[in-house]
Chain A
């Protein structure tokens, strides 16, 4: 099913999304990857505030290439989500409602998605030039010293993703692959 969704999104809307839905996202998301997750974990452990209030927000696992003059961002496709799995359940329990990335997730992440009503979207890996066209604005909001790994607020429009894991435990990576497997 094809849908147009506004982000951030509430739990009720996230629960409506099903694995296999082709979705165009518009609104605001935040980029964060390995080093930013490590810093956020350290901040949480020390009882400090996070740079982003994650409740109802969507995280994009992405570190862009530098923007050329006149453009908001450089190439901007998804990175492998599983490297963030160790940090993700805690963020989901804080209200994170969506993640954009690519690749498999652990059972702990899936369980936390079911528990909190969150959804995992896949963007097409290696399509960074195409996806950058759906990012209208980009602004660094934290950890600027991390360069490409800084946390960025991104304004997106009709950003194409596929729901691969929904809040009901469905996993498109498993079901779609078995449909075409001949070995």
Chain B
């Protein structure tokens, strides 16, 4: 049994919120660079160059990459031999988010109730997911999610007979409908299988996988490559103003499902696909 003070969660999450909205991880920088080199449209190329310049300014001048610094989505993978001390875990997570957003000059974009819509003024609460895993460490992933792209995400409850072709169509439909609204070039997170809510969570989690890293399941890795190619033939392009770079990556996660179902969730993220990871 290893004891971890919940204050450690707070301190790390505070810093990770601030870090994630100012600097993209190296995997995102790599796919950006290759997109700049391959983009066919002159206007598309110009937009990609502006986005790269934007990343540089954000990092150097400490201005968030995007003003929508998101709703904080936090994944905690907790080793089963960990014992948290010093307080309530979820409160500690929210305190980290609160401090990150208030002290880091990040935008407060959360309303406390979806209908009454009063801003909570500190960007809490976060959306927190827990997973119990072997070991005595805690893996924290902070993924502040912007809503321009979140709003364009979809779930499709397909029939088993729709098969992999149905999955292909669902992904293309979601991306096509998202078009310029989701701030392309996008990163497309896909969940296939599970139940209704598990499928959506698979898609969300897929967005936290590094952009250049393919699935370990061979047919899924092939589907990721194929769908990236197909999406980039839609013509939507950077900013939705035409071009050959509509997506920077397609990440697909799968899970077992029921004999009667084939759920497919498409969680779309803009090019500011933020995910900071630390292990404590």
**Interface positions of A (Cβ within 8 A of B):** 22, 35, 62-68, 71, 74-77, 79-80, 82, 102-104, 122, 124-130, 132-133, 146-149, 160, 162, 164, 172-173, 175-183
Contact A102 B66 (CB under 8 A): no
* Interface pairs (11), CB distance under 8 Å: A35-B117, A63-B68, A74-B63, A102-B180, A126-B272, A129-B57, A130-B57, A133-B57, A172-B242, A175-B242, A181-B235
A1 to chain B, nearest CB (A): 12
**In the complex with contacts A35-B117, A104-B180, A177-B242 CB distance below 8 A:** yes
Contact A79 B148 (CB under 8 A): yes
List residues 26-85 of chain B with CB under 8 A from any CB of chain A. Answer: 40-41, 43-44, 47, 50-51, 53-55, 57-58, 61-69
Chain A residues near B244 (CB, 8 Å)? 180
Contacts A64-B67, A127-B54, A177-B179 given; 13 further ones with Cβ under 8 A? A64-B107, A74-B107, A77-B66, A103-B179, A130-B54, A147-B119, A148-B67, A148-B107, A149-B119, A162-B241, A173-B180, A176-B43, A180-B41
Secondary structure of the B contact surface, majority rule: loop
Instruction: Name which residue of chain B comes closest to A34, CB basis.
Output: B117
Contact B53 A130 (CB under 8 A): yes
**In the complex with contacts A164-B241, A181-B235, A65-B105 CB distance below 8 A:** yes
A182 to B234: give the CA distance in the assembly, Å.
6
Contact B51 A127 (CB under 8 A): yes
A180 to B86: give the CA distance in the assembly, Å.
57
B70 to chain A, nearest CB (A): 11
Contact of B66 among A75, A164, A181 (CB under 8 A): A75
A31 to B179: give the CA distance in the assembly, Å.
24
Chain B residues near A35 (CB, 8 Å)? 117
Contact A128 B64 (CB under 8 A): yes
A103 to B178: give the CA distance in the assembly, Å.
9
Contact of A128 among B41, B63, B235 (CB under 8 A): B63
Contact B181 A128 (CB under 8 A): no
Contact A103 B63 (CB under 8 A): no
Chain A residues near B68 (CB, 8 Å)? 63, 77, 79, 128
The 6 closest A-B pairs by CB, nearest first: A176-B242, A181-B235, A125-B183, A180-B235, A103-B181, A75-B67
Asked if B125 is at the interface of the complex by the 8 Å CB criterion, the answer is no
Asked if B243 is at the interface of the complex by the 8 Å CB criterion, the answer is yes
A117 to chain B, nearest CB (A): 23
List residues 74-130 of chain B with CB under 8 A from any CB of chain A. Answer: 105-109, 117, 119, 121
B38 to chain A, nearest CB (A): 13
Contact of A147 among B61, B66, B105, B121 (CB under 8 A): B121
Contact A66 B105 (CB under 8 A): yes
B106 to chain A, nearest CB (A): 6
Contact B62 A62 (CB under 8 A): no
Asked if B166 is at the interface of the complex by the 8 Å CB criterion, the answer is no
Asked if B263 is at the interface of the complex by the 8 Å CB criterion, the answer is no
Chain A residues near B40 (CB, 8 Å)? 180
Most chain A beta carbons < 10 A, residue from B53, B67, B69, B119: B67
Instruction: Name which residue of chain A comes closest to B119, CB basis.
Output: A147
B177 to chain A, nearest CB (A): 10
A162 to B180: give the CA distance in the assembly, Å.
13
**In the complex with contacts A103-B180, A129-B58, A177-B67 CB distance below 8 A:** no
A58 to B252: give the CA distance in the assembly, Å.
42
Chain B residues near A183 (CB, 8 Å)? 172, 230, 233-235
Contact of A65 among B55, B67, B234, B242 (CB under 8 A): B67
